[in-house]
Amino acid sequence: MTTPAPDLRSLQNTLSQGHAAQFLQWHTLSRHKRLVEVAVFAILFSIGSGLVFIASAQSGLMTALLLSVGTLLMGVAYNSLGLFLHEGLHGTLASNKKANNQASFLVALPLLISASAYRLTHTYHHIELGRARDFGTYQQHTQHRFIVWLCYYLQLIAGSLLYILFIPLLAWRHANRNVRKRILFEYGIIITVAVTALLTVPQQWILHYWLLPLLVMNVLTNIRGLASHALGRQGDPLLASRTIHTSPITAWLMLYENYHLAHHLYPKVPSYHLHEVHRNIWEHLPRACSNHSYGGFLWGFFSASVRNDLRPLGLVRPARKKTSAPAALKKG
């Protein structure tokens, strides 16, 4: 017998019961923590670009080594742009709304994405998770297992590119007049900057300092995005998003998006508080999808694809280990 899915709002209230002050604190934005994140990723990009620059004066194995390490570091830095953009979509990139939207536009610019368009589609992803207007998951749109697996593998291989292509189309379809104006304005700037760069910046610079690092970002983003929701149960808010218990360094570099279940339960909590929210709620959850690393998720994903198995991957029941789980959750 299938366990009924709890209502999201009642689930949030139950989990935060007795911890109202803590949850209020975790919803508070910290300029200091955000600036530290920006500074670290800026340093990573600077080191990476410096290594790539030095590689141009080397030869043989040293060139390949410096290019590889430099490109990897820049790719990790570029990956932060997508993570910061995600924060901006939820209004947690900056405390001032205007500053938040401007910062969202700026971090989205190198990714060739309109922040306004992405905000609209991502809002539907949260509100309609697992339903008709959620375009980030697939099983609600088709009953054909082959098509679901095809979508999963397309996301793993080329998800970032597909986002760039489809976000404006999906957003335009559902946007009102004012949002459409902002989308057109932002894409006007994006196209102008891109064309200007192509005409004025040396092609080698574009290749080494933008395109190749973006390919690294593509891999990181696609794995993270797939792990967030693939092979869950879209009708259940506890199983529609996944928690990855990865290393502290990886979690920080992912801005704690590995705690994606905590993020979907409390989307207005800024990324730097998600690990605290996770620690507070995890042992009270009657069920969840979880893996101990992104590599472990991929192994389970590939194994499930061989078996053509779309059941929730990594199903665990954390509350069974803790007798003080809230009664309302046990019933849910």
Q: Look at residues 246, 238, 263 and name the one whose alpha carbon lies nearest to residue 315.
A: 238
Nearest to 263 by CA among 248, 249, 276, 246: 276
pLDDT at residue 290, as a whole number = 97
154 to each of 91, 148, 160, how far by Cα in Å? 29, 10, 10
Q: How confident is the model at residue 1, as a pLDDT? A: 35
pLDDT of the residue at 328: 40
Q: Among residues 259, 212, 229, which one has the least CA distance to residue 139? A: 229
**What would the pLDDT profile of 232-248 be if each residue is shown by its tens digit?**
998 899 999 999 999 99
Nearest to 74 by CA among 235, 224, 207, 261: 207
Helix, strand or coil, per DSSP, at residue 312? coil
pLDDT of residue 330: 42
- pLDDT value of position 322: 57
Q: What is the pLDDT of residues 147-195, one digit of tens each?
A: 999 999 999 999 999 999 999 999 999 999 999 999 999 999 999 999 9
Whether the CB-CB separation of 67 and 74 falls below 8 Å is answered with: no
CA distance 88 to 80: 12
* C-alpha to C-alpha distance for 251 and 275, rounded to whole angstroms: 9
Round to whole Å and give the CA distance between 233 and 276.
25
**In a 3-state reduction of DSSP, which class is residue 91?**
coil
Helix axes 145-174, 115-127, angle to 10 degrees: 120
* Low-confidence residues in the chain, pLDDT < 70: 1-6, 18, 321-332
